[in-house]
Amino acid sequence: MLPREHYLKQTFQDAVNFPDGFEKGGLTDIQARLIRKQGVLVNALSMDEVSDPTPEDLHILKVISNQSAPKSPIEQAWIKYLSIVKARQASAPAKTTKAKTTKTKAAAESNTEQPADEAKPAKAAKKTTKTAKAE
């Protein structure tokens, strides 16, 4: 556990969910600035890694766990940040699943077009050719 000042010295970034920056990802300029400035602290608070949380810090945890309404601008910004991340993660697996399904169908179709028995002799013929060249 480290003091809260340690976390406030670091800049928060999320290149996975916001590759073009927080502003282009749906946050206002002010919200983006707050997230960059205090996001590392809020993230550390949520993982119980801050040794000296303030009452405001503890309130952020209540807001994150839906036990209290957001009051401060950072609380509002963090809730918006979390909602954007959650929405992006919810839509990402659907795209991945669809791509995997398409690849699986293509592989199944290619397997049915060429029986396994025909593929083996072709490999054997290649080996024979290589051996003949070596002699």
Could you write out the DSSP letters of every residue in 47-66?
A: TT-BSS--HHHHHHHHHHTT
List Cα–Cα distances, 26 to 29, 63, 88, 133, in angstroms: 9, 20, 11, 64
As a whole number of angstroms, the distance between CA 69 and CA 63 comes to 6
Q: What is the pTM of this model?
A: 0.67
Is the per-residue pLDDT at 77 higher than 80?
A: yes
pLDDT band at 92 (very low <50, low <70, confident <90, very high): confident
pLDDT value at position 29? 97
Which tens digits make up the pLDDT trace of 23-70? Answer: 999 999 999 999 999 999 999 999 999 999 999 999 999 999 999 999
Is the per-residue pLDDT at 116 higher than 50?
A: no
As a whole-number percent, the residues of the chain with pLDDT over 70 amount to 68
